[in-house]
Amino acid sequence: MLSPTTVFPRNPKPSKLASNTTGPRCRATPSGDAAFCAFRAHHRAGRSLDANPSLIPALVACARLPAEAEAEAEQIHALLVKCGGAVSDVHAWTSLVRAYARLGRVYNARKAFDGMPNRTVVSWNVLLDALVKSGNLDAAWEVFVEMPQRNVVSWNTIISGFARLGWAQEAVDLFVEMTVVYGLAPDEATMVGFISAVRDIGLLGLGRCAHGYVLRRELLLDGALGVALINMYTRCGSMGAAHSCFSSVSNKNVEHWTSVITGFAAHGPQDMALSLFGEMRQLGIEPNGVTFVAVLNACSHGGLVSEGFRYFSLMKSMGIKPTIQHYGCLVDLLGRAGFLVEALNLASNLPKDPGFVIWSSLLAACRSHGNVEMAELAASKLADAKPSHGSSYVLLSNTYARAKQWEDLKMTRRRMEEHGVSKKPGLAGSR
């Protein structure tokens, strides 16, 4: 850690923000935030932390820019440690807990919280959020139960936490408890968490009810709420509802567009996905890497091989770095279209480990194009990547069945039993 007396790093270019600050002249820090500058100026002028009017803004900046503000955050951290419990203001303490949390120092956040002279429901909510964000749902739940008061924000934090970390049913139950037992009115953020949970369970009817509530309350679809609703409908395969919901969003951002494009890419018509992508670009909305996953997926499901590679080049020319998902789409694109050798070539020469999704995509392509030899290769790669993956055996035996290789089929079934792999039918699938 840096010592409290280390000088803040200097930036050769003074920022616009810095010239607006009062107090002694100073230059902007590399993070470009005037708050640190002002904080440092007051510190240099000999003010104690408690009397530094820029303490909270500086801590807020640490929380907002955790990556860029690391040096600044470390120094404020050091100053706070040195001053012990000198800071008495509950807002400053709360900002400190949040700054630690956003910097990934959950232990420090907890320590600071424990040392607070007094707490408000906001302080509790900050701690709760810190624990949820760190993925420690057990600790978060303990805090939620222990809190002296809870408000809508507390409920939203725990509900969205459960939903995000894969506990959708629990999130739905908590939503019911909040609304029915405690009589609290859900707001935008509550509905986002609830609708995401409903989406994961696939409860379209409950999703429609949630949409109805959103309309009655006239909640804004501009932000995350619109995205959550569109996504819920697309995952349930209700593309008509997804599209009309998308159309009703007044200020569409890249995530609204990406959600609806993802839906048409998966469920068709795929040219709808591509024309929406064109429309989006004409409106000047910048696609991101996720948008291109959807676009490539549309090409793959629509059998548009050369278009897919054109979009892939376009993506790179826009400065977006391809990820394993993009390569996965390309392998799928080639494989589905019957270019099995090219697909295998691409899969074998990826910068990263292809992972089980790519091998199972290739295996599925081998099955539908009847290439037994390559199917065996893909199946063995898939078994290496994910030994318990039942679909590997199923796809392979389907391939043998198509090729009428009954002995190989029997052997595969036997191996499946030996490994204790079973394929659960229908809804209770591998997810």
Partner DNA sequence: GTAGGGTTAG
State which of positions 180-199 bind DNA (CB under 7 A).
187-193, 196
| Cα–Cα dist 385/391, whole Å | 13
Figure out which of the listed residues 17, 71, 121, 204 binds DNA, where binding follows CB under 7 A. Answer: 121
Examine residue 259 and tell whether it contacts DNA (CB under 7 A): yes
| 55 and 49 Cβ atoms separated by less than 8 Å | yes
| Cα–Cα dist 305/120, whole Å | 58
Closest CB 364 distance from DNA, rounded Å: 5
| 235 and 199 Cβ atoms separated by less than 8 Å | yes
Which listed range, 31-39, 65-73, 226-234, 313-321, lies at the site for DNA (CB under 7 A)? 226-234
Examine residue 355 and tell whether it contacts DNA (CB under 7 A): yes
Figure out which of the listed residues 28, 106, 116, 126 binds DNA, where binding follows CB under 7 A. Answer: 126
Query: Residue type at 422?
Result: S
Residue with tokens 């955790």: 66
Query: Which of left, alpha, beta for 339 (phi over 0: left; psi -120 to 50: alpha)?
Result: beta
Closest CB 94 distance from DNA, rounded Å: 3
Examine residue 238 and tell whether it contacts DNA (CB under 7 A): no
Examine residue 129 and tell whether it contacts DNA (CB under 7 A): yes
Examine residue 60 and tell whether it contacts DNA (CB under 7 A): yes
E strand or H helix at 178, and its extent? none
Q: Which of 322, 359, 327 is nearest to 346 (CA)?
A: 327
Figure out which of the listed residues 28, 41, 49, 56 binds DNA, where binding follows CB under 7 A. Answer: 56
Q: Which of residues 7-46 bind DNA (CB under 7 A)?
A: none
| Cα–Cα dist 328/86, whole Å | 55
Examine residue 153 and tell whether it contacts DNA (CB under 7 A): yes
Figure out which of the listed residues 147, 163, 203, 375 binds DNA, where binding follows CB under 7 A. Answer: 163
DSSP class per residue in 198-221? HHHHT-HHHHHHHHHHHHHHT---
Q: Which of 318, 324, 270, 320 is nearest to 294 (CA)?
A: 270
Figure out which of the listed residues 78, 90, 285, 377 binds DNA, where binding follows CB under 7 A. Answer: 90
Closest CB 11 distance from DNA, rounded Å: 25
Residue with tokens 């624990």: 131
Figure out which of the listed residues 254, 377, 394, 401 binds DNA, where binding follows CB under 7 A. Answer: 254
Q: Which two tokens stand for residue 330?
A: 């390309």
Which listed range, 39-47, 303-311, 326-334, 414-422, lies at the site for DNA (CB under 7 A)? 326-334
Question: 3-state DSSP helix/strand/coil percent for the chain, to nearest 5?
Answer: 70, 0, 30
User: Binders of DNA: how many residues, by CB under 7 A?
Assistant: 81
Examine residue 77 and tell whether it contacts DNA (CB under 7 A): no
Examine residue 270 and tell whether it contacts DNA (CB under 7 A): no
Figure out which of the listed residues 225, 245, 295, 366 binds DNA, where binding follows CB under 7 A. Answer: 225
Q: Which of 362, 373, 355 is nearest to 340 (CA)?
A: 362
Nearest CB to DNA, comparing residues 170 and 332? 332
Examine residue 377 and tell whether it contacts DNA (CB under 7 A): no
Query: Residue type at 383?
Result: A
3-state secondary structure at position 117: coil
Nearest CB to DNA, comparing residues 324 and 403? 324
Which listed range, 2-10, 115-123, 273-281, 405-413, lies at the site for DNA (CB under 7 A)? 115-123
Figure out which of the listed residues 266, 285, 394, 403 binds DNA, where binding follows CB under 7 A. Answer: 266
| Cα–Cα dist 168/185, whole Å | 20
